[in-house]
Amino acid sequence: SSSSSSSSRSASDAFDAAHVAAADAYDDARRAESSSTSPDASTLAILHANKSAALLAHGGRDREACAEAIMAVMLDESYARARQRVGSACVRLGIPAVIDVVPSARASLDSAYAFHRQLRERFDGTDAKLLAALRRADAARAEGNDAFGRGELDDAAAAYTRALDAPCPYGGGTRSGGSTSLVVGGGVLLCNRAAARAALGDHRGAFDDATAALRADDNYVKARRRACDALIALGRGDDAMRELRRLRADV
Predicted local distance difference test score (pLDDT) of residue 81: 84
Nearest to 179 by CA among 169, 163, 190: 190
pTM equals: 0.70
Are 250 and 224 in contact by the 8 Å Cβ rule? The answer is yes
| Of residues 144 and 111, more confidently modeled | 144
Range 181-186 average pLDDT: 56
pLDDT-wise least confident of 75-79, 144-148, 163-167, 218-222: 163-167
What are the pLDDT digits (tens) for 213-235? 888 777 788 898 999 999 999 99
SS3 234: coil
Look at residue 196 in the predicted model and tell me its pLDDT: 97
Cα→Cα distances 137→35, 50, 144, 205, 234, Å: 37, 26, 10, 20, 30
Q: With pLDDT > 90 as the criterion, what percentage of the chain qualifies?
A: 29
- pLDDT for res 51: 94
Report the alpha-carbon distance of residue 213 to residue 188 in Å, rounded.
7
pLDDT band at 170, cuts 50/70/90? very low
Which amino acid makes up residue 242?
Answer: R
Rounded distance between C-alpha atoms, residue 144 and residue 81, angstroms: 28
Question: What is the spatial distance between Cα 220 and Cα 222, in angstroms, rounded to a whole number?
Answer: 6
Q: Rounded mean pLDDT of 92-111?
A: 85
- pLDDT greater than 90 at residue 138: no
SS3 76: coil
Residues recorded for the chain: 251
Helix H, strand E, coil C: the string for 122-187 is HCCCHHHHHHHHHHHHHHHHHHHHHHHHCCCHHHHHHHHHHHHHCCCCCCCCCCCCCCCCCCCCHH
CA–CA separation, 203 vs 186, rounded Å? 19
Spatial separation of the C-alpha atoms in residues 123 and 108, rounded to whole Å = 18
The reported pLDDT for the residue numbered 199 is 97
Of the two residues 107 and 176, the one the predictor is more confident about is 107
Q: What is the pLDDT of residues 21-79, one digit of tens each?
A: 888 888 889 888 888 888 888 999 999 999 999 998 877 789 999 999 989 988 887 78
Of 43-52, 94-103, 164-173, 195-204, where does mean pLDDT reach its minimum? 164-173
Structural domains for the chain: 2-124 (no CATH), 133-250 (1.25.40.10)
Whether 175 has a pLDDT exceeding 90, the answer reads: no
**What gap in Å lies between CA 137 and CA 95, rounded to an integer?**
8
Mean pLDDT for the stretch of residues 161-165: 85
End-to-end Cα separation, the chain, in angstroms:
20
Higher pLDDT among residues 195 and 84, named by residue = 195
Cβ atoms within 10 A of the Cβ of 67, count? Answer: 25
Give the tens place of pLDDT for each residue, 88-97: 787 788 777 8
57 vs 14, more confident: 57
